Structure formats: structure tokens, C-alpha cells
Amino acid sequence: MNEWWRSAVIYQIYPRSFQDTTGNGIGDLPGITRRLDHVASLGVDAIWLSPFFTSPQKDMGYDISDHCGVDPLFGTLEDFDALVTRAHDLGLKVTIDQVPSHTSDQHAWFEESRQSKDNPKADWYVWADAHPDGTPPNNWLSVFGGPAWTWEPRRRQYYLHSFLSTQPQMNFHNPEVPQAILDAMRFWLDRGVDGFRLDSINYPFHDVELRDNPPLPEASEDDWANPYNVQIHVYDKTRPETVGFLQQVRALLDEYEGRTSVGEVGEGRGAGKIMGEYTKGGNRLHMAYSFEMLGPVFTAEHFRRCVEGFFRDAPDGWPCWAFSNHDVIRHATRFADPGADTDALARQCIALLLSFEGAVCIYQGEECGQTETELTYDEIVDPPGLKFWPDYKGRDGCRTPMVWDKDAAHGGFTTGTPWLPVKPAQAARAVELQDDAEDSVLDYYRGILGWRKGAAPLLRGTTEFHDIDEPILAFTRADGDDALTCVFNLSPEDVALKLDCETSLTGPARNAGLGEDQLELGPNGFAWLTGRVECARLD
């Protein structure tokens, strides 16, 4: 059985921000193909492409109007085929986004559905009558603000949308709908893709009774920045029927050799249980990831709870861990204390991710220690950023273009005007500056990714956490008798640890010193120790 995905490191590419070859300021598929040598040089196993499908781009491609087409902004189907061929030549698997829960309101399916209550696509989306007073059918809210319902005068009904009003929700209770999504997936499988990242995979199904969501008890002031956060979303998503669709997805993928799936669980609280539910056994998703590690918490207790909780709830499931993606503040900024050495933090974070049991996803620019871009309101294009500014500044700060050349206009991303600006703080971390620089963040990424490929405990070992106080996170990964003890100082202060047995340092440890029976870790220091080693704080 080809289970390459279990220890895979997947590199996420956000197409519109990777490399522009036409001068229109938007990255494209030929640009990705041009830069694949850089991606392969890191030592990753696969790429994940965010949406490049035909779309009006109201939500940067997550509003699809043709599931089997390439948007002209990004190129052609032939450009996609060339990308896949080049990636495979370089030994890279290719995974792509799929967005099953909703489409664009410009999709042909919705254009037909909205015309009447009795056309062939009438029941392909979630429609509901108004209350007698004209108000929406229930209290469900959009993630992007306001009610999750928009009135359609042609049908005299509301339609559901969990995100923008231009992203109508599909009705997965109609069996024709999941079949249409599966048919689209088969189209891309037949073109050679190696897997899918399934967007917001706990959203497709809704409660057919349209019951109101209950309020979140004791919602915090931060929760109230967006009222969506003050509901318990028991009826508008994460419905039990979702598992049946995941089984259909798995059955499709099992028809092809070595294909995989990773589901995005759009949750913070309680996401681990959902990840477990969606990946357990051999007939659901191969992997899942959530927003639990994409938030601001950077503590040993938090990381231990995430990892231990997953394997407790789904001992036969599989996680994919990530610290950054296109939806959250970059972790080199998000996890950093004021005045922190963000390069040291970037090295520690990749070491930590690669030590966790599971697959790993890294986001473009991470390998250079890229930080969040500070944008002004007039530079923002992300809809929720525009709506909730300044409490929430949107996702544009992590989506600014990849910086290749420090001295080239716009960092070598485009010869035109980029869709988001390249600023000096980002240009200072250009690939060109780090490519041949010993001890750069990029150099460290390449070194640790290469080392991990030969570290069997990190590829196949199970995890046992050690009981030790903050800010130390310590755990052993063991593959039979082959074991590594992973120790991380998640603080900017020096820490000393007493060890219970003889051991030695291995791997690309940083800011770590080993004595006869003592391990010293400097700020954001970390080490891998051979064997099973118990540690105790020396205060």
C-alpha cells in the first residue's frame, strides 16, 4: 500500500501570490512551474495549490464558477498539465484544493437553480421560505458577517451562504450534488493530480429542519468582534451526514493508486474530535487539519493537548499539522513576543512541526522566515478585512507576494503592479538573499527537511509526552527500539534540564548544549536526544 502521505511534508502555494509571468500583477500557473525547482530544493514531498479554477474572484477563487476549468488569470488547462508534468519530474506530488460546500453565484448550476422552484437544479442549493414577517428562516450567520441568508426575488425564497452572499451553499441532501462534486474530482484525478485538500469540509451538510443555533455561553469580548463567534454551530455545519460523503470521496480515491485527501476542519474549539471522526478507520479521509495550531497560543500544554487529543480520539486516524496558511497571520509574527528574534522562532517552529506525529503542511515564504505584512486600510482587498477593520484586518497580510529577488521591482514577483504590495520588511527575506547564505532560515529548512528523511522515529514513531512544566515541551518518538527525545524551550529565557541517562545530541539542534547529565537550552532552543530520556527542570 502506497501511504507516502503519512510522513509527507506538503508545501502550500497560493497561486496569485507566487510568481507572475504576464505582468498583470497576479501569479499564474506558468509562474509556479518556473519556480518548482526552488520548492523541490527544500526537500518537500508534495505541493498543494490553492484554487486556480474559473471564478469571479470575489473570495480569491474559493467562489468557483466552473469546477473543471482554469481561470484565465492563471493560465490554461495545458499550463496545468505542464505544471503537473514538471512537478512529477522533480519528484513532487501535486494536490489541489476542492471546495465542496458552495459555489459562486455565477456558476451555471446556481444560475439555473435561482430561476424557479421547479427547474432541474432547483434543489441543488439550500433554499428556504421567509418567516411571515419577511425575516430569514433562522438565526444562522455568515462567517464573513451578517445573516447567512440572502433573498432571491425570482424564487421568493432565501438561499443559504456560510461565507459571502456570492457563495451560495449547495444542498448535499440531494444525492445529485455530492455526485457532481465527485465527478469534478475524477476530472482532476484523470489529469494526474495526487490528491485533494478539501476546503471547509465540515460545512457541506446542514440541518434540514433549519433549527436555530444556540448561543455560546459566556462569549468573550473578542468573540463579539464577529457575532458568528457567539453561536454554537450545531445545526449549520459539522452534521453527522458528512461522514457518508467522506466515505464516497475515499472510495473514489481508492480507485487510483497512491492518491490522498486532507480535510480542512473549519473549527477552533473542539476541532480535534472532528478531525478524528473524519479520518478514523480506512474508509474516510486520509488526513485532516484544523485551526487549533493556527491560533495565537504557543505553549507546551496547548501543543500536547492537540497531539494527544487527536490520537486519543482517533488512534487509527491521521493528522496534518500546520502553523501557517493563507487564512491566518504568519506564525513568525503570530507566535512572537515583542522584540523577539523571529528567525530563531522560525527555525524552532519547523523543528517542532517536523517532530510531531503526522503529516506536515508549510506555507510559501515560511522557509524564509517570512513575517506578516502590515497593510493600511486602503491596501486591503479581503472582504472580511474590509468589513471588520480594525478589530480584524483580514487575510491579506499573509497573502502578499512571494519575494524572490531583493533588489528587483516588487521582489521579482511581477513586472507590473502586484495585486498586494511587497514591502521592505518582506523584501529583506528574499529567497535570493538566503539561497546560498549559510545559517539562513532557508538553509536551516533545507537541512532539517533532509535530516528528517533519515530519522525513522520522526517518520514512523509513536509519541509519548513527558510531564514537565512550561515552557518546556518534551516528548519521545519511538519506532521500536529506535527512539528520539524531542525537547523544546518555548520561551525567550535560558532553561536548564537534568537528564536521567546518558545520551547524545543528534540532528540540527539549535541553541542547545549537552553536559554529562544536563541539557541547557537558550531562548527558543531545542534538541533531539538519542533514546528515551526523562528531563527535569533545574531552577
Helices (H) and strands (E) in the chain, counts: 15, 20
Catalytic residue among 255, 257, 391, 539: 255
Active site residue 534: no
Cα-based torsion angle of the residue sequence 12, 18, 21, 27 in order, rounded to the nearest 10 degrees: 90
Cα dihedral across residues 89, 95, 97, 101: positive or negative: positive
Q: Looking at residue 268, what DSSP letter applies?
A: S
What does the alpha-carbon distance between residue 309 and residue 290 come to, in Å, rounded to a whole number? 13
The partner residues of 101 in beta bridges, in order of sequence, read none
Smallest CA-to-CA distance from 292 within 319, 326, 261 is with 319
Q: Looking at residue 51, what DSSP letter applies?
A: P
Q: How buried is 487 (Cβ within 10 angstroms: 0-12 exposed, 13-18 middle, 19+ buried)?
A: buried
Find cell 487527536 and name the residue.
310
Smallest CA-to-CA distance from 490 within 332, 348, 351 is with 348
The tally of CA atoms less than 13 A away on the side-chain side of residue 510 is 23
Q: How buried is 28 (Cβ within 10 angstroms: 0-12 exposed, 13-18 middle, 19+ buried)?
A: buried
E strand intervals along 161-298? 195-198, 260-265, 287-290
What does the alpha-carbon distance between residue 417 and residue 533 come to, in Å, rounded to a whole number? 54
Catalytic residue among 20, 199, 382, 396: 199
**402-430 burial string, b = 16+ CB within 10 Å, else e?**
bbbebebebbbbbeeebbbebeeebbebb
What does the alpha-carbon distance between residue 229 and residue 395 come to, in Å, rounded to a whole number? 17
Active site residue 3: no
Q: Cell numbers of 462, please? A: 509513536
Catalytically active residues are: 199, 255
